[in-house]
Amino acid sequence: MRDNKKKVFLKTFGCQMNVRDSEVICGLLERQGYQISDDEDKADIVIFNTCSVRQHAEDKVWSAIGRVKAKIIGIVGCMATNYRQAIFDKAPEVDFVVGTSDIAKIPLIIAEIEKHKDSFLAKKIYETDSDHREDEIYHTGFHLDKEHAFVVVSEGCENYCAYCVVPYVRGRLRSRPYSDILAEIKEDIDAGITKITLLGQNVNMYNYKEVNFIELLKLVNSVNGLKEFSFITTHPKDTTAKLFQAMNDADKLKKYLHLPVQSGSNRILKLMNRGYTREFYLDLVENYRKIVKNGTLTTDIIVGFPTETKEDFQDTYELVNNVGFDAAYIFKYSVRPHTQAASLSDDVDKKEKERRHSLILELQKRISLKKR
């Protein structure tokens, strides 16, 4: 008997937040009788969960759309919130566009499009205006990994770093109720999950009623059946020695910290609106290493930010050399719409960005090798 369940292929671009969103979307669709497929060519519906953090990430999506054979195509995630219905002009084959806070509506939208697909009533749908999500979407129980789960603790961000599009595509910071986060973790453990990663654009800013991030770590650490957990991402300006002490005291917490520095130049950090100095960052690192024994430390670096001079770059290079990160993710600056930096001239040329990128990459490779 032919299985008449409609097959949905969902491709995820970008960060862990998008990976978790894709799981949520798959869980919601499975509940409505759709079958999640890993074969794009055989799928009836193809959904791209997109990322807008760099031009390169968007270019990948635009070229992927052209290759889709499926009957129904959907664009969701950060590009959907960024470009809204303009996506239909650039890619007329797209049927629906759904923003980061509207993902709960995807099953109904697909049903509506399916109803009229082959008739003169066929229409395109876009939903991008919600400012928050209902917490129940996190309880579909769909996970791509049977041992590990991502758990969102906060959505959005209000730091407005000058280069970053996240506040414009994921909205204002919203901390989830800790009772709901703990309920989700317990459901995951009942489903056999033993490892958890707490997710937020800036987890340090988590605060729900009287519970801040340090208290949340204590609550999660006390959950029975949980073997190990970690968290990502922190912002240096909201990071304190108290957090490091809490990390040390939490026996189930992986002693791992991802602390994006972005630049080693105070002038560039100011232009980036990062809210800390090189000296403040180096003090944090020293404290972290003093308090969290054998803790690993990784970071993000942007090279080629507008007006970055060779001297600014040298400051970044020396900082990476002095700190000795366990790993560093290095990116070339690319202009993002709506951001403060978009008004600055992108004056570091492509070749020079690549030269700076490979210099830091080579340096970090040598440091990581030495640490092995």
CB nearer ligand SF4, residue 37 or residue 101? 101
**51 binding ligand SF4? (CB under 6 A):** no
Q: Which of 120, 219, 227, 133 is nearest to 174 (CA)?
A: 133
The three-state secondary structure class of 217 is helix
Q: Which range binds ligand SF4 by CB under 6 A, 107-115, 152-160, 218-226, 282-290?
A: 152-160
**340 binding ligand SF4? (CB under 6 A):** no
CB nearer ligand SF4, residue 157 or residue 246? 157
Compute the least distance from the CB of residue 306 to ligand SF4, in Å.
16
**201 binding ligand SF4? (CB under 6 A):** yes
Look-up: residue for tokens 């939208």? Answer: 109
Taking the C-alpha atoms of residue 17 and residue 201, their distance in angstroms, rounded to an integer, is: 8
**174 binding ligand SF4? (CB under 6 A):** no
**202 binding ligand SF4? (CB under 6 A):** yes
Compute the least distance from the CB of residue 254 to ligand SF4, in Å.
21
Compute the least distance from the CB of residue 121 to ligand SF4, in Å.
41
Q: Is the separation of the CB atoms in 44 and 72 below 8 Å?
A: yes
Q: Which of 159, 160, 156 is nearest to 175 (CA)?
A: 156
**161 binding ligand SF4? (CB under 6 A):** yes
Q: What are residue 140's DSSP bridge partners?
A: none
Q: Which residues contact 141 (CB under 8 A, 6 or more apart)?
A: 27, 187, 191
Q: Which residues contact 224 (CB under 8 A, 6 or more apart)?
A: 189
- Say how many residues touch ligand SF4, by CB under 6 A: 10
Compute the least distance from the CB of residue 322 to ligand SF4, in Å.
23
CB nearer ligand SF4, residue 157 or residue 185? 157
CB nearer ligand SF4, residue 110 or residue 259? 259
Q: Is the separation of the CB atoms in 314 and 275 below 8 Å?
A: no
Q: Which range binds ligand SF4 by CB under 6 A, 4-12, 75-83, 153-161, 282-290?
A: 153-161
Q: What are residue 254's DSSP bridge partners?
A: none
* Residue 309 preceded by cis peptide, ω within 30: no
**159 binding ligand SF4? (CB under 6 A):** yes
Among 14, 74, 77, 167, binds ligand SF4 (CB under 6 A): 167
CB nearer ligand SF4, residue 142 or residue 280? 280
CB nearer ligand SF4, residue 77 or residue 167? 167
**278 binding ligand SF4? (CB under 6 A):** no
**181 binding ligand SF4? (CB under 6 A):** no
Compute the least distance from the CB of residue 338 to ligand SF4, in Å.
12
**157 binding ligand SF4? (CB under 6 A):** yes
Taking the C-alpha atoms of residue 160 and residue 168, their distance in angstroms, rounded to an integer, is: 9
Q: Is the separation of the CB atoms in 233 and 53 below 8 Å?
A: no
**323 binding ligand SF4? (CB under 6 A):** no
- Residue by residue, DSSP assigns 247-310 as HHH-TTB-SEEE---B-S-HHHHHHTT----HHHHHHHHHHHHHHSTT-EEEEEEEES-TT--H
Packing angle, helices 213-221 and 241-249, rounded to 10: 0
Q: Which range binds ligand SF4 by CB under 6 A, 10-18, 41-49, 122-130, 156-164?
A: 156-164
Among 51, 61, 65, 166, binds ligand SF4 (CB under 6 A): 166
Check residue 232 and report its DSSP letter: E
Look-up: residue for tokens 């791992």? Answer: 256
CB nearer ligand SF4, residue 201 or residue 364? 201
Among 20, 54, 235, 258, binds ligand SF4 (CB under 6 A): 235
**287 binding ligand SF4? (CB under 6 A):** no
Q: In residues, how long is the chain?
A: 372
Q: Which residues bind ligand SF4 (CB under 6 A)?
A: 157, 159-161, 164, 166-167, 201-202, 235
